[in-house]
Amino acid sequence: MTIEALKSETKKLSKLEKLEFLQFLAGLLSDEERSNILTPEQENTLLSRREDVMSGKIKMIPAEQVKAKLVKKYGLPS
């Protein structure tokens, strides 16, 4: 399966399924790889924000809205 096919299939998932898939992908990284990507402070921030999203404390913004805003603001290709 190609990356583009995965992206297309991922768009069909619910918000919760997307979060679960993201957790799965993050889990594929070894501890060593993750330590090179995130500092402990960044990892704590990420986990805290994930909890806020999962609890409903933070409202998610659909990617399409974010992309449209960036296209408009910076003239990026859509």
Poorest-confidence range of 4-8, 9-13, 20-24? 20-24
pLDDT of residue 31: 65
Q: What is the pLDDT of residue 32?
A: 65
10 CB contacts (<8 Å, ≥6 apart)? 18, 21
Say which residue the tokens 């998932």 belong to: 13
pTM of the model as a whole: 0.41
Q: Which domain holds residue 61?
A: 3-74
Q: Convert the pLDDT of each residue in 12-65 to its tens digit.
A: 999 889 888 988 888 887 666 766 777 889 989 999 999 999 999 998 999 999
3-class DSSP state for residue 12? coil
Rounded Cα–Cα distance for residues 65 and 58 (Å): 16
What is the total count of domains within the chain? 1
**Cβ contact 43:34 at 8 Å:** yes
